[in-house]
A and B are shown apart, each in its own frame.
Chain A
């Protein structure tokens, strides 16, 4: 894989396909809705569920940003992020069920 290290070179690709910017805005609105539920949620389980969905949406956003900026390394970042999110959510569920 050839990495392109010129600053902001990847915006050319998003100017070729302006619908990618619309995708990113829609995903960002979804993350904001999840964060609102995470602040408002009545119980701790609501907050954990909202955090779970927000992390999965963020994984998709990272892959899409890696395509736009043409950086192959973003795929590794999203894979590690999804693994850490899975382990963290399982730990939160065990804590909610039995306590530490």
Chain B
């Protein structure tokens, strides 16, 4: 059980590092939102649940924290991306299409 939890925690740590690398490397705010949110949500979930498996007395509390992160992190990142698009921050040069120009209330 110890080795199993350690492997799950290791996978989660790798996902967290890749999410932070995406934040550092991506060229645009929307790409950063996408890379950071997906990788950090899955990595945080796996890391916390892995700690709960390694320490079985803590399992339910770690599950509560993990489910709260799983719900709240995509909501906050979606709010950030929508706010930056409504404010009119432009996409990067390599972007192909932008369907949000046809929507109401979005600039440019």
Contact = CB atoms under 8 A, between A and B. Distances in A.
Contacts, number: 145
Q: Is the interface of B mostly helix, strand, loop or mixed?
A: helix
Given A29-B17, A34-B23, A49-B36, A79 B68 contact: yes
Given A45-B29, A78-B65, A82-B68, A52 B80 contact: yes
By size class, the interface of chain B is: 35 or more
3 closest pairs, A vs B, by CB?
A: A30-B20, A45-B84, A93-B79
Interface residues of A, number: 45
Given A29-B17, A53-B40, A75 B65 contact: yes
Interface string B14-47: 1011011101100001001100110011011001
